[in-house]
A and B are shown apart, each in its own frame.
Chain A
């Protein structure tokens, strides 16, 4: 088990080497002629106005909240799915009740309008 994660560790090192080496080679051979217009923020020919890092619409936040619910659910259900074939019927029914509660949460969010894109 541990030696398998050792492979992941080795791969992380090599996977980091590829982009770092690529960027280093590009840094060596590419032309460097910066000027203020080239380095300004890209925006269809006119200067960008106002601050970019502003408070943004809340829709994205609500969707992210919903995602957390279902992601935790997945973390609970995956071990159940692994053991599924050895489980007795009552354990399966319990999991189905769990899924039903989640489905109710989804329906609740839907009816409350959390899934509407404003």
Chain B
């Protein structure tokens, strides 16, 4: 970005630095807001359908164009020409604002995503905090949609959405906390720069917490209780049709890509890879390709999980967040904090080993305590049954 601004200023002398910066910002915003959603939604809905179809032993879309690659465009045209049905008793203003807000919230996360070396919209000092703050806007959109529809299914979906999203917000923040501690900064570019070793190798437990909690955060199966078809029709967007539904859909896929991108940035080294760097155009392009490959890999894992696991119950869902992920996150923060301050840890090599050991020990201890607790509650339940009989 900065290099592009400098190039503009030197090549077209009448341009002032501020004006050049403004032009670059407008261009990059337009790409993020208009081009990226189309590409991401079309590409990843196609990928999701194909992956799920293969997991379920089907072929998937194969009619629209070669191998069905135009399926996404066909759906877009269908959505665009559908009649829009608004229930008479809905709160019209909030009802119409909700899909707009859902899309805005998903696009705004992209502002701090370092997609290639030096290519980042706003390299804020509190970048990761911005992600958490803006990501929470989508909860507001879900609540607005469910409440304003004045439909019992929708309202139930909205309540579930809020309960679920706030429960999984905390494990995400705790996992981020560990990364910030090791990287020493909340700035996205600094976090990428700190990853000489990708953090997934030294902080595997934090990565797992982040991955599971972000699947819940974007409301995908097995945590898709906010739109559980078998219980509450379609959850918070039951009453939406046509283009308004399409914008919830776009928001969901943008959020999916953004979450996977954040996971890539925090744990998989972002754009880093062999020969990628901010010095040449080729390096920047390579960095972008690495970023997309890593993000697609994370998304693929999410799709795999969706195709494999069944939807879990609301009480199990909240228990899993509050009674497993939050304590695990708290313990992980403490063990990592202690491990890095041990007196023997001086060199950087030992540091990574200490982190890995802290993670593995935390995971093992947590597994052990969960198995003990589960055995105890199981035998208590058995005793109860025996006592009743």
Q: Is the CB of B337 within 8 A of A96?
A: yes
Q: Is the CB of B153 within 8 A of A42?
A: yes
**CB proximity to A under 8 Å, residues B102-151:** 103-104, 107-108, 110-111, 121-125, 129-130, 132, 147, 149-151
B40 at the interface (CB under 8 A from A): no
Q: Choose from B85, B104, B166 the contact partner of A16 (Cβ within 8 Å).
A: B104
B220 at the interface (CB under 8 A from A): no
Give the contact stretch, choosing among B28-36, B59-67, B271-279, B280-288. B28-36
Q: Choose from A15, A25, A26 the contact partner of B84 (Cβ within 8 Å).
A: A26
- Cα distance, A40 to B130, chains bound together (Å): 40
Q: Which residues of B contact A1 (CB under 8 A)?
A: 124-125
A52 at the interface (CB under 8 A from B): yes
Chain B residues touching A, majority SS = helix
Known: A41-B89, A115-B322, A117-B314. A103 touches B330 (CB 8 A): yes
A5–chain B nearest beta-carbon distance, Å: 7
Q: Which residues of A contact B129 (CB under 8 A)?
A: 78
Q: Which residue of B lies closest to A89 (CB)?
A: B341
Q: Is the CB of A14 within 8 A of B186?
A: no
Q: Choose from B29, B163, B318, B340 the contact partner of A11 (Cβ within 8 Å).
A: B29
Q: Is the CB of B186 within 8 A of A82?
A: yes
**CB proximity to B under 8 Å, residues A56-91:** 56, 59-60, 63-64, 66-67, 70-71, 74, 77-78, 81-82, 84-85, 89
- Cα distance, A20 to B239, chains bound together (Å): 19
Q: Choose from B163, B184, B247, B333 the contact partner of A85 (Cβ within 8 Å).
A: B184
Q: Is the CB of A102 within 8 A of B330?
A: yes
**CB proximity to A under 8 Å, residues B153-179:** 153, 155, 159, 162-163, 166-167, 169-170, 173-174, 176-178
Known: A42-B233, A52-B155. A29 touches B108 (CB 8 A): no
Binding site for B on A (CB under 8 A): 1, 3-8, 10-20, 22-23, 25-27, 29-34, 36, 38-44, 48, 52-53, 56, 59-60, 63-64, 66-67, 70-71, 74, 77-78, 81-82, 84-85, 89, 92, 95-96, 99-100, 102-103, 106, 110, 115, 117
